[in-house]
Amino acid sequence: MPIFTIPTITSLGQLQKQLNSIFASIVSAFSPGGTTGQVQYNNAGAFGGFTVSGDGTLVTSTGALTVTKLNGVSPGLFYSGTNAANLTGTVSVNRFNSGTGASSSTYLSGAGTWTTPSGTGTVTTTGSPASGNLTKFSGSTSITNGDLSGDVTTSGALVTTIKTDVGLAGNPTTTTQATTDNSTRIATTAYTTTAIANAVAGVNPAVAVQAATTAAGDTSAYVYNNGVGGIGATLTGPTANVAVTVDGFTFTALGQRLLVKNDTQSPSGAFNGVYYVTTLQGIAIKPVLTRALDYDQPSDINNTGAIPVVNGTVNASTSWLLTSAVATVGTDPLTYTQFSATPTGAALSVLGVTGNASAIRADIAAGSDKQVLRRSGTALAFGAIDLSSSSAVTGNLSVNNLNSGTSASSSTFWRGDGTWATPAGAGTVTSVALTVPTFLSIAGSPITTSGTLAITLSGTALPVANGGTGQTSLTNHGVVIGAGSSGLSATSAGTAGQVLVSNGASADPSFATLGTAGGAIVLISETTPTTGSTVSFTSIAATYRDLLVVIRGRSDSAAGVVGVFLQFNGDTGANYFAQRITANNATVSAGASAAGTSMQCGALAAATATAGRPGSTSCRIYDYRGTTFHKQFTSLDAYSTGTSAATQDEDFWSGVWANTAAINRVDVIITGNFVSGSVVSLYGSF
C-alpha cells in the first residue's frame, strides 16, 4: 500500500500542513535515492513522483510534485523549506470549498467558505500603503488620511476627503500662483514674498525720474558700456550735439534721471534701469547717461520700490515696478510693470475734478430720491433729468413707458389725458396738392380723387444755386471750372504729360507742357567731351524764347587759359562783334573785337593752370528764333589758373551776330582739346 495519501484539501492552512507532512515522511521513511525533487509513493520503495496539476487533480503516474503558486501567490507564503523551486503550477479556486460561491465580489473567509462582504465602514491609513492594485471597494468608502498608490476602482461611491486640521510636516511645496490670483489657494513663500515686496514698494517709492522710455527705439541706437559690474555703466547717445529726448521730454541739465524700460539690445532688457545725465551734448560731443549710483548693483535694483515718472506725453504721473530679479547687472533682464497711472480726465470729471486727483470735491450736496448727478459747466449737483435737453436724454421712449402700454396698438393714439384711445368718427381727404421749387415743374396736382403726380426739371439742367452744374454735359477728361452762380464749365482734356497752369484771377486755368511757363528753363542737350576742340548743337527747334549755353571744364592746350568762342548756323564769315570787361584781382580792364569769324564768350583754364582748377562760362542768346533783329548775347565766365590773387579772373561779355536768321545750330569752339570731365550743355528758356 502507499506510504502516504493526500486527503481532500479545503483551505490554505490544510494544504501547507499536508505538504510539510509529506516532506517529513519522505525524509524519515526512505534512504537517499532517486533524483532531486522526486518522492517515493509506492510500497515497493521505488522513487517516482506525482503531480498536483493546474486544477489540483491528483495524478498517480510517475512525475514531479509541482505546486508553484496558489491563485497567483508565490509558494513561499504557504510552506517552508529550501526546495520550493520544485513546487510549480496553480491551484484553482475550485479547490477551495469546491469553488462554491467563488466570484469577483466574494472573498475566502477563515471558515473556509466564499463570503460576500456586508456593511459599510471607513478605510483608514496612517501612511502610504505598499504599491499595488486596490481592486475593489464595495459600498461607500472614505479614505480620511494618508496616500494611495496604484489603481482604485469601486462599485459604489468612492469619496476622498482630507481632514481640516491636516498637519503638513517637513517642507511641502506647491505651485506658486500668479500675483494677480486672489482666490483662496495655498500661498507659497515665493507668492508671499512677492506680495509683500509689491506692497512695500507701493508705500516706499524710489527717487522720481524725469521721463521713462515708451519703445525700444528710444535707446536702440545708444551704445552701452557695463563699467565694472554695472558701476559706472553708461549709455552713449548716437549723435553729437543732439539732446536726449524721451516721451516728449528733453533732458537739458546734468543729474536729470531717466528710466530705461524698453531696451531690446542683446541681451534683451539687460540695459534697462535708472540712468542720470553725466555728459550734456555739445559740438562733437555725444550725450552720456550713467547708471544711477542708487541703482547700479543687484542689491540696489532688487530692493527699490516703484519708480515715479514726472513728465512725458505717455508716462507722466505713472510709476513702474521691477518684476524680475537681477543677479548680474548688464546680463540679467530688468522687466518693469506699471504700478500706478494717472486717473483719466473723464473719470475724474465725474467727481468734480479739474486737474489733479487730489482736487476731488466733497462739497456736492445730497440730492432727493430718484435724482441724478448732473453737470452744468464745471459744476456738479443732483437734480431731475431735463427731458428737453438732447444731450441729457437719448434713444427712443417705448410705448410701454406710456401708461404701461395699456391699449397701445396700431389703431390707437396717445391722448393728452395720458391714455391710449381709438379715434372716433370718420372723414375724407378731398384734395392733395404739391408745390415744388421753381427749377422743377409738377403735373397732376392737385389730386381730388386719385391720380399721379409727375415732377420734372423746368429747364435742361439743374441750376448751380440748387446744387446742380447748370450743364447737361462737360468736356470728357476736362477739369470743372466754377463760375459763381452760373453754370460750370470745363477745361480741355490736355495731352499726356501736361500740367494745369493758372492764368490769373480773371482767366480760366489751362493745361500746358511742363516748363513752358515764363522763365522756366529746360535742358535741350548735353555732352561730356573728352577730346576735340568743338561741340556742335544742331537742329535746334524754335520752341523756346532764348538759348543758354553753359561750358564747364579745362583745355589741354599748353597755356594757363584759353578762350571759348561761338559760331551760329555754321557761319564763318566776318559777322561777329564782341565787347569784354575783365576783373583780375583788383584790376578792371576792357576790350572789344569787330568783324571776327567767331565771337569769344568766355574762357577755360588750360594745362599750365593749377591742377583741378576748371573754367566756367554761361552764355545767353536772346530771341534766337526771331527773324527781325541781329542776334545778341551776353556771357559771364570765371577761371582760376593759380593760387595767388593775381591768377583769379572774371569776364563779362556781350556781342552781336550780324544776321537776322533764326538760329538752329550753335558751335562751341576752344583752343586745344576738351579734357575728360568737361561738360557742355544747351538749355532753352521760356
**445-467: pLDDT as tens digits:** 788 777 888 888 777 787 887 77
What are the tens digits of pLDDT across the range 126-164? 444 444 444 444 444 444 444 444 444 444 444 555 555
Q: How far apart are CA 526 and CA 551, in angstroms?
A: 10
* Of 247, 172, 183, 181, the residue nearest 209 (C-alpha): 247
Report pLDDT for 20: 67
Report pLDDT for 518: 61
Q: What's the angle, vertex CA 665, arms to CA 662 and CA 670, rounded to 5?
A: 130
- Cell numbers for 314: 505717455
* Of 584, 595, 604, the residue nearest 678 (C-alpha): 604
Report pLDDT for 235: 96
Q: How far apart are CA 126 and CA 74, in angstroms?
A: 28
Report pLDDT for 203: 58
Q: Break the chain into its structural domains and give their ranges.
A: 12-98, 202-340, 521-685
Report pLDDT for 310: 96
What's the mean pLDDT in 45-68?
44
Report CA-CA distances (Å) from 274 to 209, 526, 528: 8, 61, 61
CATH number for the 521-685 domain, one of 1.10.20, 1.10.3470, 2.60.120, 1.20.58?
Answer: 2.60.120
Q: How far is CA 101 from the centre of its chain?
A: 74
Report pLDDT for 141: 45
H-run or E-run covering 594: strand 587-596
Count of helices and strands (H, E) across the chain: 4, 45
The pTM score is 0.32
Report pLDDT for 419: 84
- Cell numbers for 363: 462739497
Dihedrals φ, ψ of 160, to 5°? -110, 120
Report pLDDT for 80: 39
Q: How far apart are CA 177 and CA 190, in angstroms?
A: 9
**Cell match 506692497: residue?**
199
Number of C-beta neighbours around residue 56 at 10 A: 18
Report pLDDT for 202: 55
User: Is the pLDDT confidence value at 190 over 80?
Assistant: no
Q: How far apart are CA 635 and CA 174, in angstroms?
A: 95
Q: How far apart are CA 271 and CA 219, in angstroms?
A: 9
